[in-house]
Amino acid sequence: MTKKTAVVTGSNSGIGLGSAHALAAAGYNVAINSFTDGAEDHALAKEIAEKHEVDVVYIKADMSNGGECRALIEKAADIFGSVDVLVNNAGIQFVAPVDEFPVEKWDAIIAINLTSAFHTTAAALPHMKKSGRGRIINIASAHGLRASPFKSAYVSAKHGILGLTKTVALEVAEKHITCNAICPGYVLTPLVEAQIPDQMKAHNMDRDTVVREVMLDKQATKEFATVDQIGATVVFLASDAAAQITGTSISVDGGWTAA
């Protein structure tokens, strides 16, 4: 039987890479993506392929560019013959008060964190409709459900992702295509790990204290989620067991949004 294909945007590190590994381990051929095009990107695809014995390709695409977002989907479809699962993960962050927020940063965050998902979804749906099945999984955030100060663009984009998720789900509900969002809290990625020393210095705290009292202040478990846990949630939503789950969000946030 021909393997199904998954496309994961922003997937050369962190949650995206974890999701790519999880889908490959589940037997999917995978297209991974970022905006760079170095030897290390293609080597990463080869590494995933060899580890999980599936086909994996790296496709460069700038997710701030709508045309490149759509081209990513078409290239993956040309290579593998279908796009069965789409994981919209690409995202960036910037922190500043609203009245000091650089316009170019706002535009970039909205483009990469929200508008890219519109373009990739619009391009993937015809392929999913043709095959009679599809799964769209949007990586949102606890900030899609809760706000924090100084993150106006990120919070706006993630709230928008949840709205897009619901709308798409309703539009394709009778096509055996589902659309859901995952809302992680703090996940221990290399990017988050790199922030810890700065937080230790800023708050004059040791590592354990700054993690517990500053970074994980809102997560009731006082533990980071892991990329493997997010990846496993992606695989579940892509499975037949999740066929009647659509238009909703799953929080993987250690209880952040329970309060």
Question: Taking Cα atoms as reference points, which of 259, 249, 39 lies closest to residue 165?
Answer: 249
The residue from 28, 58, 154, 186 that is catalytic is 154
One-character DSSP codes across 84-118: -EEEE---------GGG--HHHHHHHHIIIIIHHH
Q: Which two tokens stand for residue 46?
A: 């080869």
With a CB cutoff of 8 Å and minimum separation 6, the contacts of 26 are 235, 238
The distance of Cα 115 from the centroid of its chain, to the nearest Å, equals 13
Question: Phi, psi at residue 58, to the nearest 5°?
Answer: -105, 130
Reported in sequence order, the residue ranges of the chain that DSSP labels E, i.e. its strands, are: 5-8, 29-34, 56-60, 85-88, 134-139, 177-184, 249-252
User: Quick one: DSSP state of residue 173?
Assistant: G
Question: Taking Cα atoms as reference points, which of 127, 149, 124, 150 lies closest to residue 138?
Answer: 124
* Active-site residue, 58 included: no
Question: Taking Cα atoms as reference points, which of 53, 218, 72, 46 lies closest to residue 148?
Answer: 218
- If phi over 0 gives left and psi between -120 and 50 gives alpha, with beta otherwise, what is residue 138? beta
List, by residue number, the catalytic residues.
154
